Amino acid sequence: MAEAAKLLEKKKLDKEDLRILMGIEIGMKRSKYVTVNNIKFYSRNPIEETLYRLKKVHKLDLIVRDSSKNDIAYTLNSIGYDVLGLHTLVEREIINQLGPMIGKGKESDVYGCMDDNENIYALKIYRMGRTSFKNIKMLRSFLGNRKHLSWLYVNRLAAKKEFDALSKIYELKVDTPKPIGLNRHMIVMSYLRGKELAYYQNLKNPSKIFNKIIKQTKVIYQKANMIHGDLGEFNIVVDNKGNILIIDWLQWIPSDHPNAKSILERDIENVCNFFQKKYHIESNPVEIIQSFKKK
């Protein structure tokens, strides 16, 4: 990500280079590697210009070359895709500066960022498939039966699914991130200066935090008909004033999902067990879940 930001900041890329990258991006919808002729077609450049630009972006390590077959072909790497996403977010004036990494998980990286008015946001970049696509069953809900599984497509849809969830929840005025912008595999959202619940040695008022989490989860369930699907101490951010943000909504499911009951139970039990073990807060997950059903 830092490499992509440096290239854009130093203006080492011009619009013709970006057009070549976008041509490869379009071609990757159909195949992992895109031939030179197809890149020429998608980027709408003459062959000489296409070859020149391919050589340049390849030298900048934004694409990977495959010369094992008769036709030379290229594919975007993660830096090349980051360049396209960042460029668009800057062009749309959603952000103008990239800060340090503030979080790293199996499925995504999170950076601090800033807009023209010096508002500080979080930039979430999906990296699904960073290691493999073995966990494909979890993705099927939004991949369908697509034959060609492009990592670009997976990450783009993952970002959109979470952005749509945040947009729906934000209307309820509850403690989840405010969605600011979306492009490709990147989401810009509001940022809370805190850390995940799991990383606190001690909370000032754990009972108050616990009640906030349950209340917010209940409101989202009752008014948006949504269940987080992966709720726990690693998906709840708390600041030093006791404010919370419930984050990471990729695995959310609707309340009428066939597995809704068991998944809601798992979410609530995760929270209850954490507060019971670490802060000795007694609760009854069964009663809490029953209260969700009563509006």
How many whole angstroms separate alpha carbon 250 and alpha carbon 160? Answer: 9
Largest CA distance in the chain: 71
- At 131 the three-state DSSP class reads coil
Answer for the pair 153, 31: CB distance below 8 angstroms, yes or no: no
Q: Which residues pair with 103 in a beta bridge?
A: 110
Which is catalytic among the residues 115, 230, 239, 267?
230
Contact 281, 275 (CB under 8 A): yes
- Counting every residue, how long is the chain? 295
Contact 210, 281 (CB under 8 A): yes
Angle between helix axes 47-59 and 36-43 (nearest 10 degrees) is: 110
Catalytic site residue 175?
Answer: no
Catalytic residue IDs: 230
